[in-house]
Structure 1
């Protein structure tokens, strides 16, 4: 899916309703902007509870999680970069 939007005079961009719905965000929810190689990714902010659910889902399945995957989940959860 690709959307085009114009940047307003104050540097603001409206996130299209379809994207807000996909991300599950409304009103005053927090989102994360990740900038890499001149590209911006918008993510729904992961709560600490979401992080723990993601982390512990591996315990019950017998699957293993690598340290790299764990670090990525932690960074996304706390927005550390």
Structure 2
């Protein structure tokens, strides 16, 4: 989906309602802006509560069985930083 918008005098753009609904942005939410090769990528920000909930669910999943902690840390680092 591509939508063209004009930048206002203060450098602001309006994210269309259809886009906000599609990616789950509500008034007051934070977004993350990332510049990649002259492109602007806007993604929903994650609240501290959402981060903690997600982190806890991953930890709970991983610790339901007996594991090797060093191996777990190594796997997490590889996944997060794509070190294959």
- TM-score relative to the length of structure 1: 0.63
Unaligned segments of structure 1, at least 5 residues? 72-81
Structure with the greater relative contact order (CA < 8 A, sep ≥ 6): 1 or 2?
1
C-alpha distance in 2, partners of 1:5/1:26?
A: 19
Counting only pairs closer than 5 Å after superposition, residues 28-43 of structure 1 correspond to structure 2 as 28-43=28-43
C-alpha distance in 2, partners of 1:51/1:69?
A: 17
Q: How much has 1:40 moved relative to structure 2? A: 1.2
Q: How many residues align?
A: 71
C-alpha distance in 1, partners of 2:34/2:50?
A: 19
Aligned-residue RMSD, C-alpha = 2.6
- TM-score relative to the length of structure 2: 0.62
Unaligned segments of structure 2, at least 5 residues? 63-71
Q: How much has 1:14 moved relative to structure 2? A: 0.6
Q: Which runs of 4+ in 1 moved over 4 A?
A: 68-71
Counting only pairs closer than 5 Å after superposition, residues 60-75 of structure 1 correspond to structure 2 as 60-62=60-62, 66-70=76-80
Q: How much has 1:58 moved relative to structure 2? A: 3.0
Contact 1:35 1:41 in 2 (8 A): yes
Larger-Rg structure: 2
